[in-house]
Amino acid sequence: MFFSVLTLVLSFLQVSSISTDTSGLSALSVDKALEIAYRQNPQINRLQYQIRAQKKEETLSIGLYDPEIRYFKEGIGNQSFSEQRWSVSQSMDFPLNSYFKVKQQQALTRSLELQLQDLKYQVKADVKAAYAQLAFTLKSGALARERVDLFENLHQAAQARSDMGESSEIDAMQADLQLQEARNSLESAFNAIMNARYDLFQTIGLDPEEQTYDIGFTDTLEYVIVEINQEEVMNRLDEHPRLRQIRQEVEASTFGKKRAKSAYLPNLSASYYRQDFGNGFDFYGFEVGVSIPLWFATRQSQQVQQANALESAAEWKYEDARLLMKKQAEQTWHSYESSKNNIERFQENIQAKSFELVQMTQKGYSLGELDLLTLLEAQRTYLRTQESYFQTLRDYYLTVIDLERFLQSDIIFN
């Protein structure tokens, strides 16, 4: 049962013939995984609603307050004189204060939009990385299957030579032990594939009811030559959504400081009224008023100092993010360059020689020219070489995926 399920899982590697129509979930490509992730990611959905609310805040920031309707009456109980008045009053912030408030909220809206853009880049990187890890475990599973095949052939050859008296029973026993170890490795590879599948499903937010075993994976790890210039990576950093988002926070804090200073200007109010509308005394009038920042030492002055501090904090936040991103970009590029060089060495020399070594030792052992230990070491060398190659290929993919975030463009799995 185990090996039948494992065979089904390993068949995911041979899905190039599966239809590229991924409207369902019989095949899950990187594009389909990203489509699901963008739709299901809680942080993306939260930010989208937060942006909607923030856009409404722009309109609400206009310093225009609800009008007041007032009724006034004087001389109640005095038969000789009674005065009354109806009025409509309107208060508003000084126009400059409203202007800076709106500009501040607009900057905060742009900041949230850039934060959403940056989050989508991060989600894309997470999904691609999870997919690359799954593709790596599938290749490791195929290698584990190949290892079992190698040691099954070796066990058969060793047993046959032992039966014919050409080698000792110890060789057959040792070959059998190697075969059992290979089968254990195959089971571990199966478990790693299962874990990588669930990690991918969790990353994209796939509903548990849709996480079936018959899902195929149409993209795999293949070495694609990608030339990425270090200078280009560094030059693109200033346009990264993360840094642009913090720059919008700095701009918002600058408008906040201007708004705090404009609080020294008076607020305005106006009233229109009808007074003493008795016989012969119908009057209409209006009045205007301004606020006096009498308590500026405890209000406006403190607000300005607070706004100055917030602006400085935002500027230092930008500087911290810029330095951190520069370091991460340089480290990632050097990791990419190292992985790329390692892969090219594998392809140019190491892989071919290790495979040729296995073939030569297998032939020599079958002819009785080489002993079992020599063949075992050759096979182990070949398997280690293949495993190291797949690990390096995975690391190469992961570093290129990281560089995609800095370049803000798709390079692999595209």
Range 240-252 average pLDDT: 95
pLDDT of residue 252: 93
Q: What is the pLDDT of residues 59-115, one digit of tens each?
A: 888 877 888 888 887 777 666 667 778 888 888 888 888 889 999 999 999 999 999
Range 378-399 average pLDDT: 89
The CATH number given to 2-407 is 1.20.1600.10
pLDDT of residue 214: 81
pLDDT of residue 85: 82
Distance separating alpha carbons of residues 17 and 15, to the nearest angstrom: 5
Percentage of the chain exceeding pLDDT 70? 89
Q: How far is CA 249 from the centre of its chain?
A: 21
Distance separating alpha carbons of residues 255 and 105, to the nearest angstrom: 9
Pick the closest to residue 128 from 402, 334, 332, 331 (CA basis). 402
pLDDT of residue 333: 94
Q: What is the pLDDT of residues 258-296, one digit of tens each?
A: 888 888 888 888 888 887 766 666 778 888 888 888 777
Q: Which residue has the tokens 């790329």?
A: 340
Contact 290, 270 (CB under 8 A): no
The pLDDT mean for the chain works out to: 84
Range 344-350 average pLDDT: 81
Range 226-251 average pLDDT: 93
Q: Indicate whether 20 pLDDT > 50.
A: no
pLDDT of residue 277: 61
pLDDT of residue 266: 84
Q: State both tokens at 203.
A: 């990353």
Distance separating alpha carbons of residues 132 and 117, to the nearest angstrom: 22
Q: What is the pLDDT of residues 126-169, one digit of tens each?
A: 999 999 999 999 999 999 998 898 888 877 877 777 777 666 67
